[in-house]
Amino acid sequence: MSAGDLKEKYIPRLLNVYREEIIAKMQEKFGYKNTMAVPRLRKIVINMGVGAAITDPKLTEKAAEELAVIGGQKAKICRSRKPISNFKLKKGVPVGCCITLRRYRMYEFLDRFITIAAPRIRDFRGLPANSFDGSGNYTFGLTEQNVFPELEPDKITRAQGMNITIQTNAKTDKEAKELLNLLGFPFRR
C-alpha cells in the first residue's frame, strides 16, 4: 500500500451531515423519490461594499485582504461600471470586493459561521427567517467583520459590513428554509 491509500480524503463536517442525515430527513418530509432531487447548496457569495474607497482606494485592498482571510480564497475587487456625479464616482473606481465559495470551501465557511462566528455577534437572537428571495436563496448582512476569529482585531482598521448570499437549488423557500434549518442555521424563533 502506498501513503496515498492510507490517507483518507478530507470531507467537511457539514457535508457529511448533509449526506448521512439531511438527505433522508428531506426525502421523508417532502417525498422526494430520488436522492438527487433533494435540495442542496450551490454556492455562497460574500460581498463587501466599500463606499469610502472613492476617496481612498487602499481601503478596497484592505477589505479584499480581510475577505480573503475569511473566505479562504482570493477576493475579486469590483469596480464601478458607470459614473454617478451625485456620489462623486468615476467609472472604473474600486467600490467593493466579493468572493464566491463552492464545494468544500463553501461547507467549511458555513460550518465556521454557524458554530463560531454567529454566536460572537453582539446581541445575537438569530437571523431573520423571511430573507428568502422566492427562489430558495437566502441573503443576510453582517455589520462587522470582526465576528470571524480568523481576523486579528489589532489589524482591523475600520468596521466593515458584508452581505452573504446562500444559493440553493431548492424550488421553494420552504424547502430551502428546511435545508438550512437541518444544517443548523440560527434562525430567529
Residue 133 lies in a domain: yes
Q: Order the strands of the 162-168 sheet from edge to edge.
A: 76-79, 94-101, 41-49, 162-168, 138-142
Structure confidence by residue, pLDDT tens digits, 92-118 = 676 778 898 888 888 888 888 888 887
Q: What is the mean pLDDT of the chain?
A: 79
Q: Is 1's pLDDT higher than 50?
A: no
Residue 145 lies in a domain: yes
Note if the pTM is more than 0.85: no
Residue 69 lies in a domain: yes
Residue 97 lies in a domain: yes
Look at the chain and report how many structural domains it folds into: 1
**Reported confidence tier of residue 179, pLDDT bands at 50, 70, 90:** confident
CB neighbour list of residue 144: distance below 8 Å, 6 or more residues apart: 159, 160, 161
Residue 124 lies in a domain: yes
Q: What are phi and psi of 137, to 5 degrees?
A: -110, 145
54, 52, 95, 102: which is closest to 77 by C-alpha?
A: 95
Average pLDDT (162-184) is 86
Which CATH number is 114's domain given?
3.30.1440.10
Q: Is 69's pLDDT higher than 80?
A: yes
What is the predicted pLDDT for the residue at 172? 86
Residue 17 lies in a domain: no
Residue 7 lies in a domain: no
Q: Which domain holds residue 172?
A: 29-183
Residue 23 lies in a domain: no
What is the predicted pLDDT for the residue at 18? 86
